[in-house]
């Protein structure tokens, strides 16, 4: 029930309604096809009609997640997500699952770095009922100690599964070093002490602070009529009372900068070696040009026909190699993820060192790279996420992290990037910048891996 950032998602996918849009027309198309309204209590309503399939998704998104945590409550927003479902008692003793089954709803929730979502996908005719279901969920919950005791065990089950995954452990170890003293603002998984010490009063405090209509949106996508569903939302959510803007009342602290490069080696029951690197990336709202450039760079580098892939993967040095950026308002990470063999580990690292150094050259990215990425983007745009739940998740994510204005111009702004933008981005955030690096290796290779990683850091720290 929690969104993982282990494989940094290349958010976002766009609906088929954009397929025919010419360059520069995405904003106009979305503004025509996506209906938005702000209710008197501050609740944002977003509706995107898609009548291809008789399904609809209703999703409530709240700006929150890990970025709103205190040091002593890491993981509690995720526990809260579980507990909100538990708190549902509309119409008597019927629980949320029973109420959802009556309208044939598939439902879930997610907790990520900067948002929390609750959604239900239903047959189109049940969309008004799904609105009512989620309205009851959001308004006036009651957190009970006995429910907390039960649900805490469920969350611990997820917690234990996550910490038992070797690659997940490597990712967490790198994030701890990447964010340093600010790690608690990125720790969606949480820690055992915080989860054990959570109380119903603490959950109620989180609800009163962040679960406000003026800090939330209701997103509906699929086979619905926008005027009809908006009227239903207005009726069902009218009693949700607004409060003080959390962004003003509880501002997010500045994240600690990464002062120097570090390396970590973890042992695991593995045959091959996993290599990860992470850099602090752009703040997608404050550094929007670099945020767009980051996504274009990832498109180019991760394309199977790119020189990056030819030199690292097609050469046989890595079986997989990718660089991704996670769009976040409060510093998104840039992540390299690669797998190689024990026999090729040192040669693969040498090739990676050389490749990253080459990115600093002003001719590393070409006009043909941009043109090819643009063509591929147009094809991908036409193929991605026709489903109502996929579109709802995209709209919810961008609303929470950047606002819909950023989403409306996303593809247009990717298309507008120049080679100078791409070179500027890699020089500001990757080439010659501090990073954290890790390797997951068989136990027998741990000492050698540590030496190789330190050599990598030493070489990367030399003036280029």
Give the tens place of pLDDT for each residue, 205-228. 999 999 999 999 999 999 999 999
At residue 17, the pLDDT reads: 42
Any domain includes 3:
no
CB-count burial class (<10 Å; 0-12, 13-18, 19+) for 191: middle
What pLDDT does 389 receive?
64
Strand order in the sheet with 34-38: 34-38, 44-49, 216-222, 55-63, 115-123, 106-111
The predicted pLDDT at position 403 comes to 94
Question: Could you give the 3-state DSSP secondary structure of residue 111?
Answer: strand
Q: Would 41 be classed as within a structural domain?
A: yes
Q: Which of 224, 249, 274 is the last residue of a domain?
A: 249
Mean of per-residue pLDDT scores for the chain = 90
331: three-class secondary structure by DSSP: coil
Q: How far apart are CA 288 and CA 264, in angstroms?
A: 31
Judge if 276 and 185 occupy the same domain. Answer: no
Between 429 and 87, name the one with better pLDDT. Answer: 429
**243 and 267 assigned to the same domain:** no
Reply yes or no on whether the pLDDT at 19 is more than 70. Answer: no
In b/e form, how buried is each residue of 451-460, taking b as 16+ CB within 10 angstroms? Answer: ebbeebbeeb
Inside any domain, residue 11: no
Residue 69 has pLDDT above 80, yes or no: yes
Domain assignment present for residue 9? The answer is no
Assess whether pLDDT exceeds 70 at residue 7. Answer: no
In this predicted structure, what is the pLDDT of residue 92?
61
Range of the domain at 143: 16-249
Lowest model confidence (mean pLDDT) among 85-99, 252-266, 273-287, 404-418: 85-99
Domain membership of residue 4 (yes or no) is no
User: Domain check: are 28 and 84 in the same one?
Assistant: yes
What's the total number of domains in the chain? 2
| Each residue's pLDDT tens digit, 89-126 | 755 667 899 999 999 999 999 999 999 999 999 999 99
Compute the distance between CA of residue 49 and CA of residue 227 in angstroms, rounded to an integer: 11
Residues 22 and 162 in one domain: yes
Tell whether 186 and 275 lie within a shared domain.
no
**Reported confidence tier of residue 24, pLDDT bands at 50, 70, 90:** low
Is-contact 306 424, C-beta < 8 A? no
Distance of alpha carbon 96 from alpha carbon 411, whole angstroms: 38
The helix (H) or strand (E) run that includes residue 345 is helix 345-358
User: pLDDT grade, residue 32 (50/70/90)?
Assistant: confident
- 106 strand-pairing partners: 121
Q: Write the pLDDT tens digit of every residue in 424-461.
A: 999 999 999 999 999 999 988 888 999 999 999 988 87
> Interhelix angle for 367-383 vs 419-429, to 10°?
90
pLDDT digits 0-9 by tens, 353-410:
999 999 999 999 999 999 999 888 876 655 544 555 678 998 999 999 999 988 888 8
Residues belonging to the chain: 464
pLDDT computed for residue 6 by the predictor: 29
Read off the pTM.
Answer: 0.91
The DSSP bridge pattern shows strands 115-123 and 55-63 to be antiparallel
Model confidence band, residue 22 (pLDDT cutoffs 50, 70, 90): very low
Report the range of poorest mean pLDDT among 16-25, 51-60, 63-72, 161-170.
16-25
CATH of the domain at 92: 3.30.830.10
Could you say which of 228, 249, 270 is where a domain stops? 249
Q: Are 83 and 76 in contact (CB under 8 A)?
A: no
Q: Which of 43-57, 159-173, 190-204, 319-333 is predicted with the least confidence, judged by mean pLDDT?
A: 159-173
Q: Are 329 and 425 spatial neighbours (Cβ–Cβ below 8 Å)?
A: no
* 281 and 221 within one domain: no
Within a domain: 255: no
Q: Which residues partner with 222 through β-bridges? A: 49, 56
pLDDT at 162: 80
Q: What is the pLDDT of residue 463?
A: 64
Question: Where residue 273 falls among pLDDT bands split at 50, 70, 90?
Answer: very high
**Domain end position, chosen among 249, 273, 293:** 249
- Comparing C-alpha atoms, which of 170, 161, 110 is closest to residue 393? 110
In degrees, rounded to 5, the angle at the alpha carbon of residue 297 between the alpha carbons of residues 290 and 462 is 85
| Residues of the chain above pLDDT 70, percent | 91
For residues 332 and 395, membership in a common domain is answered with yes
In a domain, 444, yes or no: yes
Same domain (yes/no): 237, 376: no
């Amino acid at each position: 029930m929690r969104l993982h950032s282990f494989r940094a998602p290349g958010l976002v996918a766009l609906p088929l309604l954009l397929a025919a849009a010419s360059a520069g027309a995405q904003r106009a198309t979305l503004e025509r096809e996506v209906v938005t309204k702000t209710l008197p209590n501050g609740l944002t309503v977003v509706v995107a009609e898609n009548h291809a399939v008789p399904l609809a998704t209703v999703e409530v998104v709240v700006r929150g997640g890990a970025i709103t945590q205190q040091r002593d409550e890491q993981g509690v927003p995720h526990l809260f997500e579980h507990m909100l479902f538990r708190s549902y008692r509309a119409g008597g003793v019927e629980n949320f699952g029973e109420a959802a089954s009556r309208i044939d709803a598939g439902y879930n929730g997610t907790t990520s770095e900067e948002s929390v979502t609750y959604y239900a996908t239903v047959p189109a005719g049940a969309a008004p009922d799904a609105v009512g279901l989620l309205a009851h969920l959001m308004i006036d919950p009651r957190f009970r100690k006995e429910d907390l005791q039960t649900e805490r065990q469920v969350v611990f089950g997820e917690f234990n599964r996550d910490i038992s995954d070797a690659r997940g452990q490597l990712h967490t170890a790198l994030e701890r070093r990447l964010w340093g003293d600010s790690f608690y603002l990125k720790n969606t998984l949480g820690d055992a002490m915080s989860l054990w010490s959570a109380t119903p009063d603490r959950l109620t405090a989180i609800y009163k602070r962040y679960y406000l209509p003026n800090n939330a949106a209701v997103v509906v996508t699929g086979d619905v009529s926008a005027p009809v569903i908006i009227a239903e939302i207005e009726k069902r959510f009218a009693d949700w009372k607004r409060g003080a803007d959390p962004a003003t009342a509880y501002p997010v602290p500045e994240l600690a900068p990464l002062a120097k490069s570090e390396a970590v080696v973890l042992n695991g029951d593995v045959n091959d070696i996993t290599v990860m690197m992470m850099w602090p990336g752009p703040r997608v709202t404050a550094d929007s040009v670099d945020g767009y450039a980051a996504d274009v760079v990832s498109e180019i580098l991760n394309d199977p026909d790119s020189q990056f892939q030819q030199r690292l993967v097609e050469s046989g040095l890595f079986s997989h190699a990718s660089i991704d950026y996670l769009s976040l308002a409060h510093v998104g990470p840039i992540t390299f993820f690669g797998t190689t063999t024990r026999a090729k580990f040192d040669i693969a690292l040498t090739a990676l060192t050389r490749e990253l150094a080459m990115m600093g050259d002003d001719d590393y990215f070409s006009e043909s790279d941009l043109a090819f990425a643009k063509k591929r983007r147009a094809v991908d745009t036409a193929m991605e996420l026709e489903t109502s739940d996929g579109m709802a998740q995209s709209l919810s994510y961008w609303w929470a992290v950047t606002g819909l204005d950023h989403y409306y111009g996303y593809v247009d702004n990717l298309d507008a990037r120049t080679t100078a933008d791409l070179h500027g981005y890699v020089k500001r955030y990757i080439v010659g910048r501090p990073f954290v690096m890790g390797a997951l290796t068989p136990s027998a290779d741990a000492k050698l891996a540590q030496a190789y990683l330190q050599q990598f850091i030493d070489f990367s720290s030399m003036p280029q």
